[in-house]
Amino acid sequence: MGGTPTDLKLIDENGLRIDGRRPDEMRPLRIEAGALKRADGSAYVEWGLNKVMAAVYGPRECHPRHLQNPERALVQCNYNMASFSVDDRKKPGPDRRSHEISKIISEALTHVVFTEYFPRTSIDVYIEVLQANAGTRCAGLTAASVALADAGVPMRDLVASCAAGKVAGTIVLDLTKEEDNFGQADMPMGYVPTSGEIVLLQMDGDMTQEEFEKAIKMDIEACKKVHEVQRDALKRRYSQKGESPEYAAAPEAKEVA
Amino acid sequence: MSKDVIADLKRDYISKLLAKGMRADGRKFDEARPLKVETNYIGSAEGSARVTLGNTQVVVGVKLIMGAPFPDTPNSGVLTTNAELIPMASETFEGGPPDQESIEVARVIDRGIREGHAVDMSKLVIEPGKEVWIMFVDIHVIDYDGNLFDAANIGANAAFKTAIVPAKRAGKGEDYPLPVLHQPISVTSVKVDGKILVDPTHDEERVAEARLTVATIENGNLCAMQKGLDGAFTHDEVLKIVDSARRMGNEIRAKI
């Protein structure tokens, strides 16, 4: 959060945002299930300018062994940003922010996985942010849920995720980088649509009670939409015969040799 | 990296096929896997490429930031190559600081582009001895089925072709395309049961006795080589590998 530079108008006179969206409008979201060949399950998410890949290995032997739980599986998430994913090159490797995000995503996913079916094992979830433009933890959690389902891990439901926030005094959905940097609040959420449970919730900035209530409603409605896109990705993956689809049929990609 | 074991069954399978002149995926010994290159894939990087070589997939991002030159090369930019063999890509990769394998990959790619003069580093100088562009080549392996050397090398070359030096953002004049001089292309072969296989898969790498990576530039000159694993090549085998690297390097170069 910070001061708005004078030349940047986050909400225009028509109530539209810098990328032309209405306050309650999400950025375009596209999900491909089964994007990688080697992982047990995977999903690729393009959400606005975010590009995020998630992969799942397991249930498999738990490392380090002292973390093993004799009664249930451990869901271990690892969130990582590529050094080229942001404008200023990020130093490779984990930092305090990625440790925290890994932890809260692990906890959100643990809630929906039937961990009691796989005692002593670990279900490893890897989230790689290839290109970042605010909302990467939501994109990561959304992708990770689809990857778990793609890996055949038994789950109560998919966790859907989206952020709401406050920009220039207006409650908006799914903030971009500019809105996050110069806005007034950001509130990412992870939501289980079939049970109505909130499994991830963070907030930073400043919101009144009224604004908070509006934001949380907006968030829940958005998560329901995200959930539809997740389900659609899985249906497309498993209604197709033969080889797994290419996750992004890039038009400019060239076939060689 | 954890100890990589391969079942005897799989080893036998590969050996028996090779004895009949075949590879597990149906390729000829001197045939590479299908290659797909997508450039300008990452908007936050100055140059980027996503390369799919068979089931191997890497994303290469090039970033340029201002910094000080090395004292002994005041008239040259700085090249830094880094490879991330992240656990997403394979069950044999583990997190943590770079291990020997990722350091070798990064150094072999670095050697190819440095010695092959892929980029004119003298044009990355802002003020001699004081300020230059530091070029980071970051290799992110997301799906691993062997031959990272070639996939990453192709990715780096493809990313250079579309990279822009962000001079305007830094207040140092107008943006300009990265000054590309050559395209040093590497081709990797392994030896299994005395047979030479180009562009090995992960399974082939696991049973290989020896590996040789050869990088060549447009005129056919060699610019970098790296032999790996504990086996050996004969003189004739090396000549044969270099010859096919030159030929295949030209084919790849024409297509990126």
Asked if A86's CB is within 8 angstroms of B142's CB, the reply is no
Does some domain include residue A233? yes
The pairing of beta strand A254-256 with beta strand B35-39: antiparallel
Does some domain include residue A6? no
Cross-strand pairs, A192: A197
Q: For the segment A128-182, what is each residue's pLDDT rounded down to a tens digit?
A: 999 999 999 999 999 999 999 999 999 999 999 999 999 999 999 999 999 999 9
In terms of Cα–Cα distance, which of B159, B206, B152 is closest to B62?
A: B159
Rounded to a whole number of angstroms, the distance from the CA of A254 to the nearest CA of chain B is 5
Cross-strand pairs, A29: A47
CATH code for the domain of A157:
3.30.230.70
Chain B residues lying within 8 Å of A27, measured CB to CB: none
Count the neighbouring beta carbons within 10 Å of the beta carbon of residue B16.
11
Angle at alpha carbon of residue A210, lines to A204 and A216, rounded to 5°: 60
Can you tell me the mean pLDDT for B159-172? 94
In terms of Cα–Cα distance, which of A156, A225, A157, A223 is closest to A187?
A: A223
Structure tokens at B96: 């943590």
Q: Tokens 């090549």, residue?
A: B233
Does some domain include residue A256? no
Does some domain include residue A21? no
Q: For the segment B121-156, what is each residue's pLDDT rounded down to a tens digit?
A: 999 999 999 999 999 999 999 999 999 999 999 999
SS3 label, residue A212: helix
Structure tokens at B174: 């107008």
Q: For the segment A6-42, what is each residue's pLDDT rounded down to a tens digit?
A: 567 899 999 999 999 999 999 999 999 999 999 999 9
- Is residue A5's pLDDT more than 70? no
Does some domain include residue A20? no
In terms of Cα–Cα distance, which of A132, A142, A209, A147 is closest to A177?
A: A132
Asked if residue B126 lies in contact with residue B66, where contact means CB atoms within 8 angstroms, the answer is yes
**pLDDT for the residue numbered A251:** 42
Q: What gap in Å lies between CA B106 and CA A5, rounded to an integer?
A: 41
DSSP state of B131: E
Range of the domain at A209: 29-241
Q: Tell me the pTM.
A: 0.86
In terms of Cα–Cα distance, which of B221, B51, B79 is closest to B148?
A: B51
Can you say whether the dihedral through the CA atoms of B195, B201, B203, B209 is positive or negative? positive
Asked if B61's CB is within 8 angstroms of A82's CB, the reply is yes
Q: Is the ipTM of this complex over 0.85?
A: no
- Closest CB from A53, A87, A255 relative to B142: A53
Chain B residues lying within 8 Å of A50, measured CB to CB: none
**pLDDT for the residue numbered A254:** 44
Asked if residue A189 lies in contact with residue A225, where contact means CB atoms within 8 angstroms, the answer is no
Can you tell me the mean pLDDT for B228-244? 93
Name the B residues in 122-151 with CB < 8 Å from any A CB.
136, 138, 140, 142-145
Q: At what angle do helices B100-115 and B148-162 cross, to 10 degrees?
A: 50
Does some domain include residue A124? yes
CB of B32 less than 8 A from some CB of A: yes
CB of A83 less than 8 A from some CB of B: yes
Asked if residue B81 lies in contact with residue B63, where contact means CB atoms within 8 angstroms, the answer is no
Angle at alpha carbon of residue B133, lines to B138 and B64, rounded to 5°: 35
Does some domain include residue A253? no
Angle at alpha carbon of residue B120, lines to B114 and B126, rounded to 5°: 115
Can you tell me the mean pLDDT for B74-88? 95
Q: How many helices (H) and strands (E) does chain A have?
A: 4, 11
Residue of B nearest to A53 (CA): B142
Q: How far is CA A113 from the centre of its chain?
A: 17
Chain B residues lying within 8 Å of A255, measured CB to CB: 34-36
Rounded to a whole number of angstroms, the distance from the CA of A50 to the nearest CA of chain B is 10
Which of the residue ranges A188-202, A238-252, B90-104 would you say has the lowest mean pLDDT? A238-252
Tell me the backbone φ, ψ of residue A213, rounded to 5 degrees. -65, -40
Asked if residue B151 lies in contact with residue B55, where contact means CB atoms within 8 angstroms, the answer is no
Structure tokens at A169: 């005094």
Q: List C-alpha distances in Å: B143 to A32, A39, A131, A213, B56.
A: 15, 8, 17, 42, 5
Q: For the segment A114-143, what is each residue's pLDDT rounded down to a tens digit?
A: 999 999 999 999 999 999 999 999 999 999
Does some domain include residue A16? no
Question: What's the structural domain count of chain A?
Answer: 1
Q: What is the band of A2 on the pLDDT scale with cuts at 50, 70, 90?
A: very low
Asked if residue A60 lies in contact with residue A126, where contact means CB atoms within 8 angstroms, the answer is no
Rounded to a whole number of angstroms, the distance from the CA of A20 to the nearest CA of chain B is 20
Asked if A254's CB is within 8 angstroms of B255's CB, the reply is yes
